[in-house]
Amino acid sequence: LKPNQTPAEESKRNAALEAVKHVNNWSIVGLGSGSTAALAIEALGERVKHENLNILAIPSSYQAFQLAIEWRIPVTTLEEHPIIDITIDGADQITPELNLIKGNGAAQTREKVVAVATKLNIIIADETKKVKTLGENNQPVPIEVLPFALGLVKRKITELGGKPTLRETKGKVGPVISDNGNVIMDADFGTIINPAELQTKLKAIPGIIETGLFIDLTDIAYIGTPTGTERTEKQRK
Ligand code: A5P
């Protein structure tokens, strides 16, 4: 336990510590993004330092890349290693079927590329991320959009029943620009009964790069509590 940790941080750290136990020597490891994934990167860094763990990491964002450098975890690229052994990432919402909404940190496109390239995907989160149905509690779907296509994408999302909002930055006026040079639309679809169908419809709109709907991509979830973790597993189709 770290000093001055809030119960939420403790929960996230417990999940992160459980997940990094799955990382074996000589693995290619995908690094997720966000505050929970950051704790897993830290825990991996500790293992690299104290256990001489030999791994090569593929960061899913500029944030994850910087953290890997900070914790002295060697990095590689998907071009060199197109198959990733294990990825540990966070989520904004997670259902009992282990479907997710991701992208609160605008990193969902690279996160999904990394997840699809990965043999074992582990998601870590605290209990606040657990939901019955994706889209509950007004959680929008983060969508990365080519700036040129914004007008079209907005209209098409509205036709699909969504309420799109362009994500604005803090610390600068104007929209959030992703690590890939695109903008983010947060689209509220209410509760999403059929997320796979919505994903297919959204991906058919030109200008949508990727969405934060992660369907059937997760193998194990660790939900952390201040005192332990709850594990859920799923056989991917
Ligand atoms: C980044 O774009 C997201 O997909 C994160 O994985 C997600 O937002 C979880 O972040 P926290 O762990 O900070 O809640």
pLDDT digits (tens, 9 = 90+) for 8-44: 999 999 999 999 999 999 999 999 999 999 999 999 9
pLDDT at 174: 96
User: Does ligand 1 come within 6 angstroms of the Cβ of 89?
Assistant: yes
Among 18, 42, 111, 144, the active-site one is 111
161 pLDDT band, cuts 50/70/90, is: very high
DSSP per-residue letters across 166-208: EPBPSSSSSB-B-TTS-EEEEEE-SS-S-HHHHHHHHHTSTTE
Tell me whether strands 213-214 and 100-101 are parallel, antiparallel or unpaired.
antiparallel
User: Does ligand 1 come within 6 angstroms of the Cβ of 104?
Assistant: yes
CA distance 99 to 217: 7
* pLDDT tens-digit series, residues 52-102: 999 999 999 999 999 999 999 999 999 999 999 999 999 999 999 999 999
pLDDT at 236: 86
pLDDT at 188: 98
Summarize the confidence of residues 206-234 as an average pLDDT: 97
In eight-state DSSP terms, residue 160 is: T
User: Does ligand 1 come within 6 angstroms of the Cβ of 87?
Assistant: no
1 pLDDT band, cuts 50/70/90, is: low
Would the pTM of this model clear 0.75, i.e. be above it? yes
